[in-house]
Amino acid sequence: MGSKKIVTILPKKNMIKEKRFINHLHNSTKRNYLKRVNLLKPKIMKRAKKYSFEYWDGTRNQGYGGYKYIPGRWKKTAKKLIKYYKLKPGSKILDVGCGKGFLLYELLLLEPKLKVFGTDISGYAIKHAKKEIKNKIIKHDISKKLPFKSKYFDLVLSINTIHNLEIFNLKNAIEEIQRVGKKKFMVVESFRNEMELFNLQCWALTCQSFFSKKEWIWLFNKHKYNGNYEFIYF
């Protein structure tokens, strides 16, 4: 009898779904988790979910504490996205939950002939978006159907958005992102252990879906999401 030959097949680079395009931004921010936990937090959470001035440009305890454009802050991420997804002049990109559109603007600085579009639930964020792309952003709730044809976009992004939905709205959000994009990349807040869960619960103001990494991957697979993803840990 001949000896059996064991062949180990390593995953190709483009088969690895989990990426790290955003974590350097998240890790660069200092957070005082316990400072946010006080008797007023329930009221602050309720106000934050209106996504108005207080959330974007109020105090740090109310949200971002002033979400301003910082030249170059999103450049590294934009470069990685352009390179990995082979974006070129004429490529169509949608950012679901784009906020004030800073990433879309940074993408345009690197490749001015991209066709960028954004959606956000916050009228305040759109009103205060970068003027160069404000007319490219529409107000939209991702729990509803996206107003675009199937596979219309070469790349659909959704960064720190869908975890703000309740679980019964996640199905539509994931399936709609899957439907309109040829390639997809999503970022969600998550945890791997009790300490990260505690920090997330202390810090989060708008998060509705507190899922572990395994739970998110299960959810993506259940709804046949075949794009890339990244997890933010606290």
In the chain, domain spans: 31-58+70-232
The per-residue pLDDT for 154 is: 98
Give mean pLDDT in consecutive 10-residue pieces for the chain, a chain of 234 residues: 37 64 82 77 93 96 94 97 98 98 98 98 98 97 97 98 97 98 98 96 96 97 96 95
**DSSP secondary structure code for residue 2 in this structure:** P
Q: Which residues contact 82 (CB under 8 A, 6 or more apart)?
A: 107, 110, 111
The per-residue pLDDT for 1 is: 41
What's the CA gap between 154 and 50, in Å, rounded? 31
The per-residue pLDDT for 16 is: 56
The per-residue pLDDT for 158 is: 98
CB 108 within 8 A of CB 140: no
User: Which class does domain 31-58+70-232 fall in?
Assistant: alpha beta
